[in-house]
Amino acid sequence: MLELKEISSTLSGVAAQEANTGSARFVRLSDLSELRCGRIPILATGEEPAVARAWAIEEGDLLVGARGAATDVCLANHSVIGAYISLDLYLVRPDASKVDPRYLATFFELPTTQATLAGSKQGSGLARLPKEAVEKIHVPLPPMQQRLVADLAGCFRDEADLLKRLIELNSILGRETLARAIRVGNSRPNS
């Protein structure tokens, strides 16, 4: 097992200077929910950050929520590539030669990892996860099984997405069937 800081870089977010004239995009804590649900968030725009620690999001980066009861984590997708993270997020950039980013995202979602992160949060209101706690988390690195674990997690996510879609379609079918039954019932003359 290695500490996260040995297999990735972790950066704090930057203050988003929102403005209609700027071309920089910013991912906020609230955007993680949209990303986790497979939706494209409407990102804040503003002026380009003027600090050296502002790294634009790249493919394979993880976005980690720094505040809240749960520690939301998601793998960056095409909708946020090139954007910057706001103050309530951490950007974790895995060293791809040491760890598969999808495996690392799966590891962050495990209940035991979530419990470890929750135990590290500080504050009584909207608790904050210190960057040092993220960097010091111990990550098991099975050499040959990282890809297998990441693929398996992807299959479970795909299945969950399909089940949600099936429930939506079943609900639509049920409503349409009932509506047709009512229309047919109303079109028959009374006996």
pLDDT tens column, 91-124: 999 998 889 898 999 999 999 999 999 999 888 7
Span between the terminal Cα atoms of the chain, in Å: 78
Residue position matching structure tokens 């590539």 = 81
In this model, does residue 125 exceed pLDDT 90? no
- Structure tokens given for 179: 């509506």
Q: What is the pLDDT of residues 42-96, one digit of tens each?
A: 898 888 888 887 899 999 999 999 988 889 999 999 999 999 999 899 999 999 8
- Most confident among 2-6, 66-70, 174-178 (mean pLDDT): 2-6
- What lies within 8 Å, CB to CB, of 77 at 6+ separation is 35
26 and 85 Cβ atoms separated by less than 8 Å: yes
Q: Cβ–Cβ contacts within 10 Å for residue 93, how many? A: 17
Which residues, listed in sequence order, are joined to residue 92 by a DSSP beta bridge?
A: 10, 62
Query: How confident is the model at residue 143, as a pLDDT?
Result: 66
- What lies within 8 Å, CB to CB, of 25 at 6+ separation is 43, 44, 45, 80, 82, 83, 84
Pick the closest to residue 27 from 52, 62, 60 (CA basis).
Answer: 62
> Could you tell me what percentage of the chain is helix, strand and coil, using 3-state DSSP and rounding each to the nearest 5?
40, 20, 40
39 DSSP 8-state letter: P
Distance CA 74, CA 95 (A): 17
Q: Rounded mean pLDDT of 164-190?
A: 84
Instruction: Please report, as a single letter, which amino acid is at residue 69.
Output: A
Gyration radius of the chain over CA positions: 22
The answer to pTM > 0.85 is no
Query: Is residue 101 classed exposed, middle or buried when 0-12, 13-18 and 19+ CB atoms within 10 A define those classes?
Result: buried
